[in-house]
Amino acid sequence: MKKISESQYQMANGETGKLNITLLHTSHLASVVHNNLVLQPDPTGAYVFTITRSSGKIEFLIVTATFLSNDPQTAEYQLFLQDQSGTSFPDRVIKHTDPPITWQSTIRLVVV
Amino acid sequence: MWQKIVISMALIAIVLSTENRTEAQQIQACDAICSKQQQVDKFKSNDQKPFLDADLKRINSQRLHDALVELHLLIEQNLSVAEDLLSDAPEADKKELGDKINALQQKLQAVEHDLSLPGRSSQASSPAATVITPSATVPNTAGTNNDPIPASSAAGPLIGATRFASCSDGSSPANTYLSMLARGAAELIVSRQDPSAANDQIDRILFAGFSDVAVPQQFRGNFTEVMQKLYVKSETRKATDKQIGASPQAEGSTSAIEKPDFTKLLGFAVEHGAVEQVVNGTTLTLSSSPYALMTAGKGGDTAENYSHYNAFTRLGASATFNIQDQNNVLASATRKQLSEWSVRYRFNPDRSTRSKDFLDYWNSNVLPELNNSGVALGNALLHLQDENSTVINAIDQKLTAPDGFIAQYYSQHKDEPQDTLIDGLEKEISCRVEQQFTENMNSLQITDATRVVLQQDLDAYAKAQEGLQTAITRAENFSKELEKRWQGTFAYTQKQQQITSNYSILKFIFEKSAPAPLKLTANIEGSLYHRPDPLKNQETLRDFSAALSFEYLAGRSPFVTNPLDQSQVSLSFTGSYERMPENRGVLNKKADIGNAQFKFQLPVASGIVFPISFTFANSSELVKKNHWRVNFGLTFDLDKLSQLMSVSSQP
C-alpha cells in the first residue's frame, strides 16, 4: 500500500489492507463498506478488505459515521489504513464539529 | 318531413362524432411529444420576454432545459420504436412509418439544436449518442457578466475553458445536492485550513455532478429534499441533572435539594448565601470522579476508556471549602477551610448514549441503515467508474491535485474572511465540477442504460439516506427515553463543624422525569453525630429530612453563543422538611424546620451557570426565626468546558 494523497492509496490486486477506527468520546460504531460489501470488525476491531479488481481500476472504502445530540463536541472517529507489513497511514479524522454532510467519507484505492 | 329531420340529425351526429374523434386523436397524439413540445414553446416564449427578472429567467431557463431533455428522450424513444417497426412493416404501413420517422428526426434535430448538442447523425459511429448539457445556468465569459445563458440562446456547445476563466464568480444553482456537498467540503477545508481536507468528499461530489448532468432536475427533486432534511445539525445535551454546587447543609449553598448526577472530570462552584444555616457564607466546591483519575494518563475520556473504566463513572467525590480570601478563592482549598466532603455512588445503570442499552439499540437499528447508505454509495461510485472512469478520474485529479483547482483557489483566497472564503470555495467547487463535465461531455458515456442505472443509484441512495434519517431520529428518541428513566444516587457527606459537633449525612437521591418539560427530584436523608454531646441535647441521630422538587426547563439560554450548546434555563420549586430531635423543648430553637425555595438557573456561557435562589424558612437549625434568604453563585462544569476548549483549539 502506498499513500498517494489524502484519502487516496495505491494497492495491488489481491493485496489485503486493514482499516482501523479509533473512537474518541463516542462509542457507537461507524459503518465500513468496501465497494458494495459491508465489512465487520475482526476481533481486534479492524476492518479487513482485499483488492479484487484489476490494475487500473479503482475500489472504494466508504466510512459512514454519525454523531448524536448526547455525543460531546470533542467526539471523533480517527481513521487509519494499515498495509500487510503493518505500516499504518493516518487518514481523515471525522469530527462531530465537521459539517454533517461530510460524515460520510470515501477512501479511493487505486489498483496498480 | 320527419324523414328529412331524422336524416339531418343523423348527419349532424356523424359530423360531430367525427370531429370529436379527430380531436380525441389529436389530444392522444399530443399526450406525450406534443404536450412536451407545448411546454417547451411556453418556456421559450417566457425566455424572450425582456421584462423578466434575473431569478425568474434563471428558473425558466432551468425548466426549459429540463423540458428539452425530456422531449429529447420522448422523441428518441418514439423514433426507436418507429425504426424498429419499419424493418418488417407491411407495404401499407411503410409510407406512414417513413413519414413519421422523418418528422421525428426533424423534431430531434431541432431539440438538439436548442440543447446545443452534436447531432444524432454525427454520432453514428459513437454508441454513446445522447449527451445533454448540464444546466442552463452556466457562467458567462470571463466572469464579466453573471447572467445565466438560456439554453435556447446558447451559441453552440458550451465547451471551452475560456468560458470559465472566473469560474467561482458565476452563479451556481443553490440547494442542489452538488451545492450542499460543495458547501460541506468548503467548510471542512476552511476549518482544517487544508485544501486537501475534503479529498474524501470528491467522489460523492462527482457523483452529484454527474447526476446533475444526466438526470433531469424533476427526478432529482426528491433526492435533494431528502439530503437536505438529513443533514440538519445535531444538538448537544440538554440535561440539568448534575450536582455541582455544595449540599443544602453548606454555608454558601444555593440548593435546597441535591441532584443525582455528578461531573465526571471536574466541577467548580462558588456560591454565596445559606439554605439551612443561619449564617451566610461563601463556599468553593470542587467535584470530580475517580474516572477522571483512572483515564488521565491513558488517553483521557475515550470510548475505549469509558467502556473499560465504566464502573468508576458511578463514583463521584466533592469537597466544599469556606472561602476566606474572595480575591483568590482557590487559596481557600485547604484542609483547615474544609467545610464538608462527600462521596457518591450512582446505583442506576448508565443512561447515556455510551451505555450498553444504547449501543445494543444502535447496533441493531442504526448500523444496518448506515451500511445501506454506504453500499448504495459504493454501488453508485462503481457504476460511475465502470462507465466513465477516464473522465471521472481526470476531473478528480484536476480538482484535488496539489496544484488543482481547489488548492489554487484556497491559496489565492486564504486570507479572506472565513465566510467569504467558504462561499467562494463552495462556488468554485460546484462550478468547476459543472465546467469539467460540460467540457468533457463528448467523452462521457451517457447512454439510456447509463441514465437508467444512474437514476436507480440516485433512488437507492436517497432511500438509504431516508432510512438512515428515520433510524437516527428513532435512536435520538430512544436516547431521550433513557434519560427519562429514574436515576438514583447514594451520597455520604461528612460535615466539618467549627462550633457544633461533626456529623455524617446519609442521603438517597432520586430523580424521574415528569411529563415534559417537568422533572421530579426527591431526597431522603438522615444524619448522625460522630460524638454526640449530651450537654447540647445531642443523640447519635442528629436529624432526618425529606425534600421534593419540581423543575421546569424553560428553553435554551439566550446567553450561550455556541449554537451547538443547548444548555437550558431552568426554574425549580423545592419544599423540604427537617426534623431535629435535639431542638425539642430547647428555648429559641425549633425541631420541625420547613423550607420553600424558588431557584432560577441561567447558563451564561458553555459550562458556566449562574444560579440564584430565594428561600423562605420557618426557622434555621440554630435560631427559631422565620427568614427569607437570597443565595447566588457561579458553577463551572469542566466536562462541558473541556469540550468547548477542545473545539476552540481546533485549527
Q: So what's the pLDDT on residue B268?
A: 64
Q: How many Å apart are CA B446 and CA A66, to the nearest integer?
A: 34
Q: Is the pLDDT of residue A61 over 90?
A: yes
Residue type, B16: L
Contact between A27 and B647 using a beta-carbon 8 Å cutoff: no
DSSP letter for each residue of B471-520: HHHHHHHHHHHHHHS-EEEEEEEEE--SSS--EEEEEEEEEEE-STTEEE
Residue B122's closest CA among B114, B210, B99, B113?
Answer: B113
Task: Using CA coordinates, name the residue in chain A closest to B645.
Answer: A74
User: Who has greater pLDDT, B246 or B187?
Assistant: B187
Nearest to B363 among A23, A29, A64 (CB): A29
In order of B102, B136, B350, the CA distances from B450 in angstroms are: 27, 22, 51
Q: Considering only A34-43, A66-75, B425-434, which range has the smallest mean pLDDT?
A: A66-75
CB pairs under 8 A between A and B: 176
In order of A6, A95, B454, B585, B648, the CA distances from A92 in angstroms are: 8, 9, 28, 73, 19
> What are residue B409's phi and psi, to 5 degrees?
-60, -45
Instruction: Identify whether the C-beta of residue A54 lies closer than 8 Å to the C-beta of residue A13.
Output: yes
DSSP letter for each residue of B62-96: HHHHHHHHHHHHHHHHHHHHHHHHHHT--HHHHHH
- Output the average pLDDT for chain B: 75
Label each residue of B161-178 as H, E or C: HHHHCCHHHCCCCCCCHH
Q: How many Å apart are CA B26 and CA B39, to the nearest integer?
A: 16
Q: How many Å apart are CA B32 and CA B341, to the nearest integer?
A: 82
Please report which residue ranges of B88-201 form alpha helices under DSSP H.
Answer: 91-114, 177-192
Q: Is the pLDDT of residue B66 over 80?
A: no
Q: Is the pLDDT of residue B643 over 90?
A: no
- Averaging pLDDT over each range in B188-197, B255-264, B491-500, which range is the top one? B188-197
Q: So what's the pLDDT on residue B225?
A: 57
Question: Hey, what's the cell of B641?
Answer: 468546558
Task: Using CA coordinates, name the residue in chain B closest to A35.
Answer: B378
User: Who has greater pLDDT, B566 or B504?
Assistant: B504
Q: Considering only B137-146, B285-294, B533-542, which range has the smallest mean pLDDT?
A: B137-146
DSSP letter for each residue of B338-376: EEEEEEEEE-SPP-STTSHHHHHHIIIIIHHHHHHHHHH
Q: So what's the pLDDT on residue B561?
A: 74
Domains of chain A, by residue range, sit at: 2-111
Q: Is the pLDDT of residue B250 over 70?
A: no
- Give the dihedral sign, CA B321/B324/B325/B326: positive
* pLDDT tens per residue, range B367-382: 999 999 999 999 999 9
Residue B440's closest CA among B385, B394, B381, B380?
Answer: B394
Q: Considering only A24-28, B245-249, B301-305, which range has the smallest mean pLDDT?
A: B245-249
User: Who has greater pLDDT, B195 or B564?
Assistant: B195
| Interface list for A 11-50 with B (CB within 8 A) | 22-38
Q: At B37, is the pLDDT very low, low, confident or very high (cuts 50, 70, 90)? A: confident
Burial class (CB in 10 A: 0-12, 13-18, 19+), A90: exposed
Residue B529's closest CA among B539, B516, B544?
Answer: B539
| Interface list for A 45-104 with B (CB within 8 A) | 57-58, 60, 62-64, 66-74, 91-92, 95-102, 104
Q: How many Å apart are CA B385 and CA B214, to the nearest integer?
A: 15
| HSE (side-chain half, CA atoms, 13 Å) at B170 | 27
Contact between A102 and B650 using a beta-carbon 8 Å cutoff: no
- Each as own residue / partner, the long-range contacts of residues B307-310 (CB below 8 Å, 24 or more positions apart, any chain) are B307/A27, B307/B354, B310/B350, B310/B354
A 10 A CB-CB count for B384 gives 23
Contact between B302 and A25 using a beta-carbon 8 Å cutoff: yes
Contact between A100 and B233 using a beta-carbon 8 Å cutoff: yes
Q: At B411, is the pLDDT very low, low, confident or very high (cuts 50, 70, 90)? A: very high
Q: Considering only B270-274, B279-283, B398-402, which range has the smallest mean pLDDT?
A: B270-274
* pLDDT tens per residue, range B156-197: 222 222 233 446 554 555 567 888 899 999 999 999 999 999
Q: So what's the pLDDT on residue B15?
A: 45
User: Who has greater pLDDT, A58 or B179?
Assistant: A58
Q: How many Å apart are CA B339 and CA B316, to the nearest integer?
A: 18
Q: How many Å apart are CA B222 and CA A3, to the nearest integer?
A: 38
- The answer to whether residue A4 neighbours chain B at the CB level (below 8 Å) is no
* pLDDT tens per residue, range B99-157: 888 888 888 888 777 765 433 433 333 322 222 233 322 222 223 233 322 222 222 22
Best probe of the A interface among B179, B192, B200, by most A CBs < 10 A, is: B200
pTM above 0.80, yes or no: no
Q: At B395, is the pLDDT very low, low, confident or very high (cuts 50, 70, 90)? A: very high
Three-state SS at B138: coil
Question: Hey, what's the cell of B609?
Answer: 451557570
The conformation of residue B240, written as its DSSP 8-state character, comes to -
Q: So what's the pLDDT on residue B564?
A: 58
Q: So what's the pLDDT on residue A107?
A: 96
Instruction: Identify whether the C-beta of residue B623 lies closer than 8 Å to the C-beta of residue B588.
Output: yes
Q: So what's the pLDDT on residue B273?
A: 55
Q: So what's the pLDDT on residue A30?
A: 93
* pLDDT tens per residue, range B572-582: 999 999 998 88
* pLDDT tens per residue, range A7-26: 999 999 999 999 999 988 88
Q: How many Å apart are CA B575 and CA B598, to the nearest integer?
A: 9
Q: Which residues pair with B493 in a beta bridge?
A: B342, B505
A 10 A CB-CB count for B218 gives 12
Q: Is the pLDDT of residue B637 over 90?
A: no
Residue B160, C-beta contacts closer than 8 angstroms, at least 6 positions apart: B439
Residue B182's closest CA among B376, B405, B397?
Answer: B405
Q: So what's the pLDDT on residue B143?
A: 30
Residue A10, C-beta contacts closer than 8 angstroms, at least 6 positions apart: A1, A2, A4, A109, A110, A112
What region, left, alpha or beta, does residue B156 occupy, with left being phi > 0 and alpha being psi -120 to 50 degrees?
Answer: left
Contact between A98 and B188 using a beta-carbon 8 Å cutoff: yes
The conformation of residue A109, written as its DSSP 8-state character, comes to E
Average pLDDT over residues B20-30: 48
Contact between B377 and A62 using a beta-carbon 8 Å cutoff: yes
Contact between A23 and B303 using a beta-carbon 8 Å cutoff: yes
Q: At B278, is the pLDDT very low, low, confident or very high (cuts 50, 70, 90)? A: very low
Q: Is the pLDDT of residue B458 over 70?
A: yes
Q: Is the pLDDT of residue A79 over 80?
A: yes
Beta strands B568-579 and B592-605 are antiparallel
Q: Is the pLDDT of residue A78 over 80?
A: yes
Q: Is the pLDDT of residue B238 over 50?
A: no
Q: So what's the pLDDT on residue B169?
A: 55
Three-state SS at B433: helix
Contact between A73 and B643 using a beta-carbon 8 Å cutoff: yes
Q: Which residues pair with B145 in a beta bridge?
A: none
CA distance A54 to chain B (A): 12
Contact between B370 and A102 using a beta-carbon 8 Å cutoff: no
> What are residue B232's phi and psi, to 5 degrees?
-80, 130
Best probe of the B interface among A5, A10, A28, by most B CBs < 10 A, is: A28
Residue B250's closest CA among B318, B180, B169, B327?
Answer: B318
The residue to which cell 456529623 is assigned? B503
A96: chain B residues, CB-CB within 8 Å: 234
Q: So what's the pLDDT on residue B369?
A: 92
The residue to which cell 448504495 is assigned? B376
